[in-house]
Amino acid sequence: MSEPPPAPRRPERRDFLIELGTEELPPQALRTLELAFAEQLRARAHQAALRFGEVESFATPRRLAVLLRRLASHQPDQRIVRRGPSLRASFDAAGIPTRAGLAFAHSVGVALDTLGTERDDKGNEYLRFEGLKPGAAAISLLPALVQQSLEALPIPRRMRWGDAETQFVRPVHWLLMLYGSQLVPASILGLHAGTSSFGHRFMAPGPLRITSPGTYERLLQRRGKVLAGFAARSETIRAQVATLAAQLEGRALITEALLEEVTALVEWPVAIAGQFEARFLSLPREVLIAVLQHHQRYFALEDSAGNLLPRFITISNIESPMPELIRAGNERVVRPRLADAEFFWQQDRRLPLAARLSGLAAVTFQAQLGSQAERAARIETLAAAIAASIGADVAASRRAAQLCKCDLLTAMVGEFPELQGIMGRYYALADGEASAVAEAIREHYLPRGAGDALPASALGDALALADKLDTLAGIFAIGQKPSGTRDPFGLRRAAIGILRIVLEHRLELDLAALLEHAASLQPLADAGVSGAQSAVEIYDFLLERLRAQYLERAPEHGGVSTELFDAVLAVRPRSLLDFEARLAALARFIARPEGLSLAAANKRIANILKKSALATSQSVDLERLREEPERALQRALEALRARVLAATTERRYTDALELLATLKPTVDEFFDRVLVNDSDQGLRENRLALLLQLRALFSGIADLSRLPG
């Protein structure tokens, strides 16, 4: 009655290129925007069922581009199979089509006499449609995919330009969209797509017609004087700087952060060396680097002994016929910056660091949390308590805490905020403070970020922990804890810093008590804000960071499942080291057959107890133990209780779980032969009390009912 549907089309494959030309993009966000644009477009093409090969991305100060290799020309055709009404309902006794049959044919877009039939298991026949739904052409889908990808970019603030309502991170000047050699008709961000790009603003400012996506990068480099690939441009800069530094008999200080920022500032990098007066080398090393790297985006140089040289390397964005003019200009710019730093250094040392203590009272830390002087007092109290717990010098911790914020009032830190703590150390040493105190002042900001060094001294640990705990307690107290990506006070960074210091330095601290102490010191504690509740919230916040770290690890490197983590978290250990010990023991235990069985038993016990109205009393009436399995379980518990509790108290959790593992056959026998919910209320309550005792013994380590089993 019908012919088979045609075979699905085999789509062509061509490269697709999208380039957005803009005014200078924010350098610190450029790499993030590039990678996000590529990922968003990749994900949306995948969701649209458009097959493609490799994804390449490009980014310069004036452009974002993505290249999808071998993008299918259309979505796959979809084979459609639909069952219609029965033949009896589709045709009357004379064989004339009924309304039902005609309606089905119309719904699938074919004539009734072209439809096939199919028979079900009972022998009833039905109309059947089988055909192909052509996939949409890629060229018709791409404009929307690009628009959606741009709208999803992580741009905190978008700007408008001209009279239009269009918004983007920076004004957009051109739009290039090519599928193979074919223009993709589109209107995005107020621009119609074209086939032209633009080269370097000064060396090749005219339009460059792109005939195919595959020629884009090569053509921009050869005719446009633009290295479009971010990674390739970064490696070019690295190589140029290293080569030039070697020619100057030095080694360049190339940090990844500086290299990424410089890469984001240029399209055609050219390394040029400059120099400054040797007298500035008397400044602290960090000051020189702050001026050269952070403010001028220069690469500092050092000799083979690690001493800074009076030289620097800058990256020009133009290949000038007179590079000496660029060199002279950069030397002219850096000289007053260094002279300012020299002046600040000399002026700051005229006043002892301790003399600035009183001035902290006039510097607000946060409107609801008081001044920096009040904060320093809170840090002093906490640091002294922590120092006493970890064997550090309590008196030195108090002195370091008093001085740790004083450099905020120095001219140097006012000009170079990134040097806070660092300059405090230098000024403390110049004032004759103990070296341990000076080092702790520097270390109390550590770690400043992911992968950063930790404090090297116990005094530094105490001060760094006190500082971070006060920040968490204060900001939680005023209800400004992080939400989503918003974390203006860096609380996630502070939390991770606390975890790293405590766990990597193996500090035995009562975290719960410290959090309660820190919360009680906040000025809002006197205004009805619950310090205890705040401490609970901070504990959960810290442990969520710890959970993420464990879940990211592979099992062979200590990674655990979220169920294992939750089982330990449920008993809320007061020490992070204790938490780790419980988790490690539980991970080993659950890998054993007895572990899985007892986890299942604990889950069963938890469900039984949840449904019962039994009070929390755990007393068992021995006279009411009628069955031998329940008497055996009670005897086993009595025999093990003291040894399990001793092992748990001494944090020998593996030993405790080994002992509890011996209960498996007794517990299995109990559940196989004893009816817990007996109709006799006395027997029922006695058996529930027995289960409460069993669960309590396990709960001294973790809540095994949260484990799968």
Backbone angles phi, psi at 638, to 5 degrees: -65, -40
pLDDT band at 290; cut points 50, 70, 90: very high
| Nearest CA-CA partner of 262 in 300, 224, 306, 225 | 300
Q: Distance between CA 371 and CA 356 in Å, rounded? A: 14
| Nearest CA-CA partner of 140 in 175, 192, 186, 177 | 186
Check pLDDT > 90 for residue 326.
yes
Q: Distance between CA 598 and CA 667 in Å, rounded? A: 8
Quick check: is 567 in a domain? no
The residue among 523, 552, 581 that closes a domain is 552
Q: Distance between CA 56 and CA 102 in Å, rounded? A: 51
Does one domain contain both 385 and 279?
no
CB contact at 8 A, 571 and 583: no
Check pLDDT > 80 for residue 621.
no
Quick check: is 574 in a domain? no
Does one domain contain both 51 and 188?
yes
Does one domain contain both 337 and 320?
yes
What is the per-residue burial (b if ≥16 Cβ within 10 Å, else e) of 392-427?
bbbebbbbbbbbbbbbbbbbbbebbeebbbbbbbbb
- pLDDT score at 686: 82
Query: Model confidence over 154-195: pLDDT tens digits?
Result: 998 899 988 888 899 999 999 999 999 999 999 999 999 999
pLDDT band at 592; cut points 50, 70, 90: confident
Quick check: is 558 in a domain? no
Token pair in block for residue 545 = 């960071």
- pLDDT score at 540: 94
What CATH number does residue 475 fall under?
Answer: 1.10.3210
- pLDDT score at 646: 94
Q: Which of 356-360, 449-453, 556-560 has the lowest mean pLDDT?
A: 556-560
Dihedral angle over CA of 368, 373, 375, 381, nearest 10: -140
Token pair in block for residue 177 = 């969209």
DSSP assignment, residue 94?
A: T
What CATH number does residue 184 fall under?
Answer: 3.30.70.260
Token pair in block for residue 318 = 């133009």
CB-based contacts of 378, cutoff 8 Å, min separation 6: 470, 518, 521, 522
Quick check: is 69 in a domain? yes
Average pLDDT, the chain: 91
Q: Look at 530 and 346; give whichever has higher pLDDT.
A: 346
CA distances from residue 681 to 50, 350, 607, 684 in whole angstroms, order as listed: 66, 84, 18, 5
Quick check: is 521 in a domain? yes
The residue among 195, 224, 253 that closes a domain is 224
| Nearest CA-CA partner of 497 in 538, 469, 528, 526 | 469
Query: Model confidence over 574-590: pLDDT tens digits?
Result: 999 999 999 999 988 88
Half-sphere exposure of 82 (CA within 13 A, CB side): 16
Residue owning tokens 């092992």: 647
User: How confident is the model over 251-269, as a mean pLDDT?
Assistant: 96
pLDDT band at 527; cut points 50, 70, 90: very low
Check pLDDT > 90 for residue 467.
yes
Amino acid at site 410:
T
> What's the structural domain count of the chain?
5
Q: Please give the distance of CA 131 from its chain centroid, rounded to a whole number.
A: 47
Backbone angles phi, psi at 128, to 5 degrees: -140, 135
How buried is residue 555: exposed, middle or buried, by Cβ count under 10 Å (0-12/13-18/19+)? exposed
Q: Distance between CA 598 and CA 530 in Å, rounded? A: 39
Check pLDDT > 50 for residue 107.
yes
Residue owning tokens 């005094």: 459
- pLDDT score at 176: 98
The residue among 189, 224, 259 that closes a domain is 224
pTM here is 0.80
Does one domain contain both 495 and 608?
no
How buried is residue 16: exposed, middle or buried, by Cβ count under 10 Å (0-12/13-18/19+)? buried
- pLDDT score at 14: 95
Quick check: is 104 in a domain? yes
Angle at 294 (CA atoms; ends 157, 339), nearest 5 degrees: 130
Does one domain contain both 360 and 391?
yes
The 3-state secondary structure of 319-335, one letter per residue: CCCCHHHHHHHHHHHHH
CB contact at 8 A, 491 and 481: yes
Token pair in block for residue 566 = 């939750």
Does one domain contain both 69 and 193?
yes
210-214 long-range CB contacts below 8 Å, 24 or more apart?
210/17, 210/176, 210/178, 211/181, 212/15, 212/178, 212/180, 212/181, 213/14, 213/15, 213/16, 213/17, 213/67, 213/178, 213/180, 214/15
Does one domain contain both 64 and 109?
no
User: How confident is the model over 683-690, as a mean pLDDT?
Assistant: 82
pLDDT band at 315; cut points 50, 70, 90: very high
Domain of 367 in residue numbering reads as 354-552
Check pLDDT > 70 for residue 4.
no
What is the per-residue burial (b if ≥16 Cβ within 10 Å, else e) of 566-578?
ebbbebebebbbb
Quick check: is 575 in a domain? no
pLDDT > 70 in the chain, percent? 96
Token pair in block for residue 329 = 């200009």
Backbone angles phi, psi at 313, to 5 degrees: -125, 130
CB contact at 8 A, 34 and 22: no
Residue owning tokens 């170079």: 416
CA distances from residue 231 to 57, 60, 228 in whole angstroms, order as listed: 10, 11, 9
- pLDDT score at 191: 94
Q: Distance between CA 234 and CA 135 in Å, rounded? A: 41
Does one domain contain both 433 and 284?
no
Does one domain contain both 58 and 102?
no
Does one domain contain both 496 and 635?
no
Max distance between CA atoms of the chain, in angstroms, equals: 113
What is the per-residue burial (b if ≥16 Cβ within 10 Å, else e) of 170-195?
bbbebbbbbbbeeebebebbbbebbb
Q: Distance between CA 264 and CA 261 in Å, rounded? A: 5
Quick check: is 4 in a domain? no
Q: Which of 109-113, 417-421, 445-449, 507-511 has the lowest mean pLDDT?
A: 109-113
Query: Model confidence over 71-98: pLDDT tens digits?
Result: 999 988 878 888 989 988 888 888 889 9
User: Which of helix, strand or coil describes residue 263?
Assistant: helix
- R_g over Cα of the chain: 36
User: How confident is the model over 442-461, as a mean pLDDT?
Assistant: 93
- pLDDT score at 1: 45
Q: Which of 89-93, 312-316, 570-574, 643-647 has the lowest mean pLDDT?
A: 89-93
Does one domain contain both 421 and 504?
yes
- pLDDT score at 357: 93
Does one domain contain both 382 and 442?
yes
- pLDDT score at 617: 57
